[in-house]
Amino acid sequence: MNHPAPHTLRTVTGELRSASVRGPALAHEHLVLDLDRVGDGAAVLGAERHAAAVAAELVALREEYGLALVVELTCRGMGRDVRALSRIARETGVAVVAATGWYYEPFHTPEIDTLDVAALTDVLVREIEDGIDGTGVRPGVLGELGSHGDVPAPAEAKVLRAGARAAVATGLSVATHAQLGRGGLAQLELLTGEGLPAHRVSIGHQDLLDDPGVHRELAERGAYVAFDTVGKSGYQSDGTRLRLLLALLEAGHADRALLSCDISRHGYLRDEGGQGYGHLFASFLPRLRAAGADDDLIDLLTRRNPVRFLTGATVEEN
């Protein structure tokens, strides 16, 4: 297999040396997606209708905060459009990592019912090796591989196993969707059970689970713990998110936390009155600083950790 070169990120516009990522990253976002299951168009970020607003936000964040990288976790069955991602990356000067995999069960595509784990693994490896939809754009991460509940459903377990096998075969990392924060430990068991090292795994949406003990256990096992719905007050208050993050930091696991906003519908965009991709930088990080975080810790959480997660480095990046 053609693994990424050491200390190299695979982006929609080509390979990028990790040392060249000098600004912060958003570790779990969507720039283009379609999760509309009811026909109201709310859970959509359209390549035509919304891309200009998305790009404008990224440019503003690059100029104000140095935003350098977005990990875009829209995968198969979620309205993925890597041509649009490539345009956004070129227009904004912000590197974008695209994904492959399958989301949680309500969004599964038909092949999941008909193919076994080995065949699903082959589907993912082909995208990683050959590119997505004939574009030549190759994914740089597997995700967001999804499940719901405390234990993945059988079809979700199949997807997680296939994702883990594809990750082992291709040298990529895996980011998960744990619905409402639940089931992360079970996800990690399935993924590592297929031979994927825990440090190649980010367990998603842990800021929606008010259980510091689970967060500590995930980190102690070596996985990354994603506090990646920052600003989504309809699900959780940022005050609770801050408390949970501080608990993980105080337990000695600053090197295992990832931060992002998971913008997943157009109503979250700034030009529609939403919090936007910049909520992390404009609102949450100032609160974290007020709680005692210094510049080095902020850099660890927003730059070095996501780069290390993507590259699989086992020592801290500078």
pLDDT, tens digit only, all 318 positions of the chain: 778 877 899 999 999 999 999 999 999 999 999 999 999 999 999 999 999 999 999 999 999 999 999 999 999 999 999 999 999 999 999 999 999 999 999 999 999 999 999 999 999 999 999 999 999 999 999 999 999 999 999 999 999 999 999 999 999 999 999 999 999 999 999 999 999 999 999 999 999 999 999 999 999 999 999 999 999 999 999 999 999 999 999 999 999 999 999 999 999 999 999 999 999 999 999 999 999 999 999 999 999 999 999 999 987 655
136 vs 145: CA distance, rounded Å: 22
Q: What single letter denotes the amino acid at residue 137?
A: V
Nearest to 85 by CA among 147, 143, 14, 4: 14
140 vs 108: CA distance, rounded Å: 21
Any idea which residue has 């902020």 for tokens?
A: 298
- In this structure, are residues 5 and 16 in contact, taking their beta carbons and an 8 Å threshold? no
Q: Taking the model in full, what pTM does it have? A: 0.97
Burial pattern 193-226, b for ≥16 Cβ within 10 A else e, equals ebebebbbbbbbbbbbbeebebbbebbebebbbb
- In 25-164, the DSSP E strands lie at 25-29, 33-34, 44-45, 69-72, 95-97, 99-100, 141-147
Beta 8-11 vs 14-17: how paired, if at all?
antiparallel
Query: Going by C-beta distance under 8 Å and a sequence separation of 6 or more, which residues neighbour residue 250?
Result: none
100 vs 174: CA distance, rounded Å: 10
71 vs 78: CA distance, rounded Å: 15
End-to-end CA gap in the chain: 28
DSSP state of 107: G
- In this structure, are residues 83 and 68 in contact, taking their beta carbons and an 8 Å threshold? no
| pLDDT score of 318 | 55
